[in-house]
């Protein structure tokens, strides 16, 4: 988990604004994810974390600021065009197709690829998720919560992303399942996929990431090496449930 501050930027967000009517949910934030880096974004409910991820993915209407990804300006690209460039969002609440099987969900993730190109990717993805491999024919709606989260991540991986945006993958899951999901995120990152992880479980996220940003009321209030944030008294009392 050595810091990778010198990695070339894959994503550079400058002065990002997200508005909903009169509400400024994101108020001019700067953040950066290096190639192959694992960065986390933490903050209380309503801080603007999901809005940030959605804006990066191209799913927000009223936004401002600059977005550079893989050396190009993507601020005006539509969500599907960003996805084609390797930007994949796994949204809050998973969103698997519950009436489709595991196999069909994975196929949806690879829709932009030919069958021949999708096959080896699918094999690799299923190797990362042995539980899904056993349940290929099961409809997604009947999977457990943890399995559905794994399927959502697996489906995103089918598109062959360079940057994975994960919105609270541990939400509502038992600690052991969260641990397993975080292990998978680590493995995916080791294979070269950059990750921007939003997570309520700040301690686990800070242990996994090399760098982190802390968001409060639409602004970034702290940024730095994940390890030093874990030791920061302000982070400890506000986000790690420790007094003093």
Ligand X SMILES: Nc1ncnc2c1ncn2[C@@H]1O[C@H](COP(=O)(O)OP(=O)(O)OP(=O)(O)O)[C@@H](O)[C@H]1O
Q: In what helix (H) or strand (E) does residue 133 lie, and over which residues does it extend?
A: helix 130-134
47: contact with ligand X by CB under 6 A: yes
Instruction: For residue 70, give both structure tokens.
Output: 């893989």
Contact 100, 56 (CB under 8 A): no
Cβ at position 5, least distance to ligand X in Å: 25
- Which residue stretch of 87-95, 116-124, 141-149, 200-208 sits at the interface with Mg ion (rule: CB under 5 A)? 87-95
- The contact pattern for Mg ion, residues 89-128, with x = CB under 5 A and - = no contact, is ---x------------------------------------
In terms of CB distance, is 102 or 178 closer to ligand X? 178
What is the C-alpha to C-alpha distance for residues 171 and 155, in angstroms, rounded to an integer? 18
What is the C-alpha to C-alpha distance for residues 40 and 195, in angstroms, rounded to an integer? 8
Neighbour tally for 104: CB within 10 Å: 14
23: contact with ligand X by CB under 6 A: yes
63: contact with ligand X by CB under 6 A: no
Indicate which of ligand X, Mg ion, none lies near residue 23 (CB less than 5 to 8 Å, by partner kind).
Answer: ligand X
Q: Give backbone dihedrals phi and psi of 43, rounded to 5 degrees, phi first.
A: 160, 160
Residues 83-102 that bind ligand X (CB under 6 A): 92
Cβ at position 143, least distance to Mg ion in Å: 22
Neighbour tally for 207: CB within 10 Å: 15
- Report the residue from 13, 50, 201, 205 that binds Mg ion according to the rule CB under 5 A: 50
In terms of CB distance, is 130 or 172 closer to ligand X? 172
What is the C-alpha to C-alpha distance for residues 209 and 229, in angstroms, rounded to an integer? 11
DSSP H helices, 158-196, are 175-190
Helix (H, G, I), strand (E, B) or coil at 52: helix
- Report the residue from 10, 31, 39, 48 that binds ligand X according to the rule CB under 6 A: 48
Contacts to ligand X by CB under 6 A: 20, 23, 25, 43, 45-51, 92
Contacts to Mg ion by CB under 5 A: 50, 92
């Amino acid at each position: 988990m050595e810091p990778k501050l010198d990695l070339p930027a894959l994503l550079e967000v400058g002065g990002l604004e997200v508005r909903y009517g009169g509400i400024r949910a994101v108020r001019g934030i700067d953040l950066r994810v290096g190639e192959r880096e694992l960065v986390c974004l933490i903050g209380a409910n309503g801080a603007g974390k999901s809005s940030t991820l959605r804006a990066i993915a191209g799913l927000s209407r009223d936004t401002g600021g600059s977005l550079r990804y893989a050396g190009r300006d993507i601020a005006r690209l539509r969500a599907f065009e960003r996805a084609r460039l390797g930007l994949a969002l796994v949204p809050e609440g998973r969103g698997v197709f519950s009436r489709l099987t595991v196999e069909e969900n994975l196929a949806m993730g690879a829709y932009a690829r030919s069958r021949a190109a999708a096959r080896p990717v699918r094999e690799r993805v299923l190797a990362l998720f042995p539980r899904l491999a056993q349940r290929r024919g099961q409809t997604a709606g009947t999977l457990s919560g943890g399995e559905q989260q794994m399927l959502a991540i697996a489906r995103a991986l089918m598109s062959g992303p360079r940057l994975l945006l994960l919105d609270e993958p541990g939400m509502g899951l038992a600690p052991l399942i969260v641990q397993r999901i975080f292990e998978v995120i680590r493995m995916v990152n080791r294979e070269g996929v950059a990750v921007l992880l939003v997570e309520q479980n700040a301690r686990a996220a800070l242990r996994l990431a090399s760098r982190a940003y802390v968001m409060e009321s639409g602004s970034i209030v702290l940024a730095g090496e994940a390890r030093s944030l874990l030791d920061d008294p302000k982070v400890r009392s506000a986000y790690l449930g420790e007094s003093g």
